Chain A
Amino acid sequence: MFSFQVHHPTTNTAIIADDGTRLTYGDLSDFSGSVNKVIPNRCLVFLLCRNTPGALCGYFSFLTGRIVPLMLDSTINGALLAGLIKTYKPQYLWLPDHRADEFMPAKTVFSGYRYSLVKLETNEGFPLHDDLAMLLATSGSTGSPKFVRISYENLAANAGSIADYLAIGEHERPVTTLPMSYSYGLSVINSHILMGAAILLTSKTLLEKDFWRFVKEHKASSLSGVPYMYKILKRINFMQMDLPSLTTLTQAGGRLSSELVHEFATCCAGSGKKFFVMYGQTEATARMAYLPARYALQKPESIGNAIPGGCFSLVDENGTEIEEHDTIGELVYKGRNVSMGYANGYDDLMKGDENHGVLFTGDLAKRDSDHFYYIVGRNQRFIKIFGNRVSLDETEILLEKIVPECACTGQDDHLVIYITDMNRMAEVKKYISAVTEIHPTAVSVRHCVEIPRNEAGKTHFFLPDIT
């Protein structure tokens, strides 16, 4: 029976939180023992994540106790949460104390570090596949019922590869900058827990004074960010900050412009830091590729090559492998971190591995003669907004509830919606940012007289040429 187990000295510090909490790996395993006494059987738990000791202690307890968490953000809207509870029938919820009341009369059966374990008596248990470790959302907080099924092997393999290429040791101190419910944020936690390092836990953002005070006080050694966070770092003059302990910067969650890669790589090279451009998807647990820091200046547009233990290939439209360099095809990844498949409801949780270690990424890429890979586009209709995947087709379906005709397009960090009714542009913008939580500044609503469609009724897009 496989689970995610670590065997670090019990005196090693595991968590340093911005509220002053300090916990060792010994404390974590004691806490885990208590949680697992309360939850007798393997079952599904909704974990409402926040970068706080309560959330992380719960997460650690579930993983080591073979209880399956479905990861959500703690601020998830009540109606979306209720919908997911119906779809997945969890027996327990692990959530911040202040949200426990929403589930009255359901009882809180355990609590610790300002988190409560609420038992939903009305939900009975159901079988879970033996290998299933957790469920991760495919996109942000859109309330989509589609989750990725991650196995214990996936977790261990990916955390191990990441720790390997980033050379993570027990003296590392990453500071949290991303939500735990987001695969990239979680991968930072997993890879450091695996190595017995201490995690600096904060839910403060890069734009708060207290965040930087915390980073300095506890000598954070690494920081991770999605593209828009690097724009923020640039604007707040990160490159001029005196942070000698901070030696590693990682970037994933979408493409960072080569200009910014170049700027950060130059600055890092000059101050003894390493800057890693990385590539991944939740379907691969988190990471699939990284660009070694020493190549960031030389090949700022590349995602590098597959992580240790993984490998890439490119296939053409017929599924034939492309051998030549500089030829575009779909990027295919193989590795032990390729997830088991998707789930759309509780009865999918007994399913076994459907991917067999192979992931068709949906990204179009090419490889140069030095075997470095470059993402050049996508063959699926989605964009990434602030690191989160947004399906354009799903967004159109949402919009069809309020307007008869629409078409969605755009680019990363910018959704463009075309509608035919000129008087409803403000309403559409308000509606879409309310239901999807996409920031309104990242949405443009434009008017067109008619949505261009082909004979089959499919929208005819004038998309930018990606080749």
Chain B
Amino acid sequence: MTNAEKYRETFITLFGVTKNELQKLEYQGVDTWDSVGHMSLVARLEETFDIMMETDDIIEFSSFLKGIEILRKYGVRL
């Protein structure tokens, strides 16, 4: 699986969304991506890509697309 696939897959399994919804997916845009879901998302992404996210990045991670930008800062090639 490529990094991009792993990234997409994390959202799909965690929030129960479809591939088509991803581009527009935002924090609190679906019931499952609430603060509890957000913490699971952060934990899974950190595990998947072996990174440790800073506070600012956790609270700025407000959408699927924004997340790509943030992960790139950690050297994840997406």
Contact = CB atoms under 8 A, between A and B. Distances in A.
Given A207-B38, A207-B58, A440 B27 contact: no
Determine the interface band of chain B, counting residues with CB < 8 A from chain A. Answer: 20 to 34
Interface stretch (B2-10, B29-37, B68-76): B29-37
Interface string A194-238: 000000000001111101100000000000000011011001110
Contacts of A211: 59
Contacts of B14: 441
A437 B55 CA distance: 27
B16 A441 contact: no
Given A430-B16, A440-B16, A209 B59 contact: yes
B36 A236 contact: no
Interface of A: 205-209, 211-212, 228-229, 231-232, 235-237, 240, 386, 430, 433, 437, 439-442
A441 B36 CA distance: 8
Contacts of B40: 441
5 contacts: A205-B28, A207-B35, A237-B55, A441-B40, A442-B36
A208 B32 contact: no
Contact of A207 (B16, B32, B59): B59
Contacts of B56: 209
Given A236-B59, A439-B37, A440-B16, 11 more contacts: A207-B35, A207-B38, A207-B59, A208-B59, A235-B39, A235-B42, A236-B58, A430-B16, A440-B32, A441-B37, A441-B40
Interface of B: 14, 16, 27-28, 31-32, 34-40, 42, 55-56, 58-60, 62
A232 B35 contact: yes
Contacts of A205: 28, 34-35
B61 to A, nearest CB: 8
A207 B55 contact: no
Given A237-B55, A440-B16, A441-B14, A386 B36 contact: yes
Contacts of A442: 36
B27 A207 contact: yes
A235 B56 CA distance: 11
Contacts of A209: 56, 59-60, 62
Nearest to B54: A237
Report the 3 A-B pairs with minimum CB-CB distance, sorted nearest first. Answer: A439-B36, A236-B55, A237-B55
